Each structure stands twice: as C-alpha cells, then as structure tokens.
Amino acid sequence: MKVLVLNGPNLGRLGTREPSVYGSTSYADLVALCEQAGRDLGVEVEVRQTDHEGEMVGWLHEAADASWPVVLNAGAWTHYSIAVRDAASQLTADLVELHISNVHKREPFRHTSYLSDIATAVMAGLGVAGYPLAIRWLAEKPGR
C-alpha cells in the first residue's frame, strides 16, 4: 500500500512560519516523521509539498489514477480552491483532510472547508502528530 501525503502552500516553511500556531517542527522533520510512520506500519509513504496550485491538482489526479489514499493538508487552498476540491473529489481511495492547527479556533474564513464534505476523515488541531495518526488510520482501516 502507498499513501501520498500532500502539503500545500507555505507548509515548506514549517518551523519558521508562525511557530506559535504551527509549532517548531521543520518541514524536513515532518517528512521524516511521516516516512518513519510508514516504515513502522509497512506502508510506502511519499510526502510532497508545493506552493503551486496546478502542481497540487496534478498530484491529486495522479493519486486518483493510481487509487492511492491521500493525507491532504491543502493549507489556504482548503478555504477557497474549487480546483483542488474538484481534483480531490476524483480520488478513488480515502482522503484524510488534515490541519496542523485547530482551524475552528482561528479566523472565521478558516472555518469553511471546500474539502470536508468529500473527505473520508478530517483531523485538525493535533499539530504534526496528526500526520502519523492519519497514516496509521489509513493503514489499519478495515477493508484494506
């Protein structure tokens, strides 16, 4: 089984961007955390990050065509990108929408997600610890 972990805009700046909101874990440390979770579970995990919406759309198409489950932290695209939503709605395997912060305790515009109603599960507010939990959930989900 392969799990694709996709991160949207500004997530490559983890550890330096608003550490009071997103924590001090670097993006490199996040990648290592996800890859270790995959090794522990016997699951192939590939982690990607982009600040370019079209690239994210292409990755979601790739996951749909390959029937890979996706952990998606779409960042700001969560709240306004119909293109990312349309691409994610084509997924043929599970989608976990993930947010490092609790978006429901933040600015009102962050309370709306264009992804939640098409996601299999939504995780928010667990910090980077949410990533290995999402990977574990996908790996251990009944029917796998």
Report CA dihedral (126, 101, 128, 26) to the nearest 10 degrees.
Answer: -160
Q: Is the pTM of this model over 0.75?
A: yes
CATH number of 45's domain = 3.40.50.9100
Q: Is 101 part of any known ligand binding site?
A: yes
- 74-130 pLDDT per residue, tens: 999 998 899 999 999 999 999 999 999 887 776 777 667 899 999 999 999 999 999
Q: Is 29 part of any known ligand binding site?
A: no
In the chain, % of residues over pLDDT 70: 91
Asked whether 124 and 71 are in contact (CB, 8 A), the reply is no
Q: What helix, strand, coil percent values describe the chain, rounded to 5?
A: 50, 15, 35
pLDDT of residue 103: 75
Residue 82: domain span? 2-140
Number of domains in the chain: 1
Residue numbers annotated as active site: 22, 99
